[in-house]
Amino acid sequence: MKNNRVDKRVSLLSMVWVVILLLMVIIPLRVTADNPTLVYVSPASKTVSAGQTFTITVACTPGQSIKSYELKVLFNPTLLQANSVSEGTIFAGYTTFFNDGTINNTAGSIVDVYGLILGAGLVSSPGSLVSISFTARLASGTSSVSLSDVGVTNETTYVPITVTNGTVTLREFTLGVTLGGSGSVTKNPNQATYAYGTVVQLTAVADSGWIFSSWTGNLSGSTNPTSITMNGNKSVTAHFTQNQYTLTITVDGSGSVTKNPNQATYTYGQVVTLTAVASSGWMFGSWTGDLTGSQNPKTITMNGNKAVTAHFSDSAAPQISGVTRVTSDPLDTNPVYGWVNVSCTVTDNVAVSQVVLRIHNPGGSWNNVSMITRTAGKYYYRSTTAFSTAGNYSYTIWAKDTSNNANTTSNIAFSMPANWDLNSDGHCTIFDLVLVSNHYGQSGSNGWIREDADNNGEVQVLDLVFTSNHYGESWW
């Protein structure tokens, strides 16, 4: 009888364990929030210089064993530019599926970032989820680096998490002023530090019996007051001399100025005749500083230190030639596999200051993109996102020289076919499905042919489904 009772208890206990195991399969176990998983920006705060490229890490300290994660990153696009997203170390040693997301430096976001372990496996040790490369813009201020829509799972459910954001501060700059001689210098605005791009006016004030002569350091010449743009730490020295006056001539453009008499210094009340001589292809425009107007020659009376600028200007607009467009083959709206390269040659008798590709998008908006120079006079723009929407585009190229003379090319039309329009006739018809079926079962590298509509490297039924979903649509 005793053995029978034991057998019955063992049998009952076995049945209970079977029920528990079935419930564990049917109803996923919920993870308590007693020990949440920490997801945080590292470092929590960082100070960088304008133009500096640096890395921010999204780190994770699991409160339980985890298998996957997903997140978005938000930042201030006027202060930071996101360059790339790379997979972190937390799943090191496992085969993973990682998506580096989509960077939008206009909205200040990185979306659709996720990663997971393929097959069996969980991790519980701390590590990084992703590393993000940023470049600080030419500005000052503090940008938050915020995490949004963060999710972390084990094999069956999302786990409780605690999210901590971070900040990046673009540092300000100092302006040091020293004196050579007897006098003082006022700063306007007068601050201990300055934000990037702040224009500070410096005014040298000579003591009795002294006169200001020149600036050295990060300023030169004898213009007083003068301005300095704070794009870094600056150091300026103001020099003062006694009982003599200087006449400093600055040339803006191409030309020269003769002084009569031509001396290093002048006594009080001495009259000097200035004659502006323009270089070939240039013309004299006006005097600024301690002389005004456009009279030439013109006299100046030396009753103090003087600084005069002669302005010369050219009238020739930049010449734009050789406008060329080269595209990927096949053309693909996915910027990972498709691209558009617009190039041209720009020449000017002085110097080209800016070349802009003005893109008229299918939706009616405009996208102005600064073209990058690679060789002398050769500019190009390789698009990774600007031509990623199907439709009809047009564009012009606008160029400006350092004298603000500008030129614009004629309008050029360009069409970007949708990936589901295989023959690029503007419509999705049965013929597009036929084109996919003609390559059914073939494989190659991602983006190898247009018939591989989803760019996974193989023409299969998903490409037929993708194309058929757009049957009857037009992208014109």
Q: What domain range is 450 assigned to? A: 430-468
First-to-last alpha carbon distance for the chain, in angstroms, is: 87
Token pair for 276: 């502006």
CATH of residue 99's domain is: 2.60.40.680
pLDDT value of residue 4: 37
Read off the DSSP letter of residue 333: S
For residue 352, how far is the Cα from the chain centroid?
A: 22
pLDDT value of residue 429: 93
For 405-464, what is each residue's pLDDT tens digit?
A: 999 999 999 999 998 999 989 899 999 999 999 999 999 998 889 898 888 999 999 989
Whether the pLDDT of residue 386 is over 90: the answer is no
**C-beta of residue 371 within 8 angstroms of C-beta of residue 397:** yes
Mean pLDDT of 209-227: 93
| Three-class SS state of 5 | helix
CATH of residue 345's domain is: 2.60.40.10
Q: Are residues 161 and 247 in the same domain?
A: no
pLDDT value of residue 42: 97
**C-beta of residue 283 within 8 angstroms of C-beta of residue 276:** no
| Three-class SS state of 475 | coil
Per the domain annotation, does 474 fall within a domain?
Answer: no
Instruction: State the pLDDT confidence band at 34, using cuts at 50, 70 and 90.
Output: low
- One DSSP character per residue, 429-447 reads -HHHHHHHHHTTT-B-STT
Q: Are residues 305 and 324 in the same domain?
A: no
Q: Are residues 54 and 18 in the same domain?
A: no
Q: What total number of domains does the chain contain?
A: 5
Per the domain annotation, does 422 fall within a domain?
Answer: no
Per the domain annotation, does 424 fall within a domain?
Answer: no
pLDDT value of residue 210: 83
Mean pLDDT of 320-334: 90
Q: Is 329 exposed, middle or buried (0-12, 13-18, 19+ CB in 10 A)?
A: exposed
Per the domain annotation, does 66 fall within a domain?
Answer: yes
Whether omega for the bond prior to residue 77 falls within 30 degrees of 0, making it cis, is no
Q: Are residues 299 and 323 in the same domain?
A: no
Q: Are residues 165 and 42 in the same domain?
A: yes
pLDDT value of residue 258: 97
Residues 444 and 330: their CA atoms lie apart, in Å, by: 13
Q: Are residues 324 and 305 in the same domain?
A: no
Q: Are residues 190 and 247 in the same domain?
A: yes
pLDDT value of residue 3: 37
pLDDT value of residue 399: 96
Which amino acid does the sequence have at 34?
A: D
Give every strand in the sheet of 226-230, ordered side by side.
Answer: 183-188, 198-206, 226-230
- Pick the closest to residue 170 from 201, 198, 190 (CA basis): 198
Q: Are residues 395 and 454 in the same domain?
A: no
Mean pLDDT of 382-397: 86
Query: CB within 8 A of 390, min separation 6: which ones?
Result: 333, 362, 416, 417, 418, 419, 421, 475
In 173-282, the DSSP E strands lie at 175-180, 183-188, 198-206, 210-217, 226-230, 234-242, 247-252, 255-260, 270-278
Token pair for 411: 């309008």
For 229-274, what is each residue's pLDDT tens digit?
A: 998 899 999 999 877 889 999 999 889 999 999 999 998 788 999 9
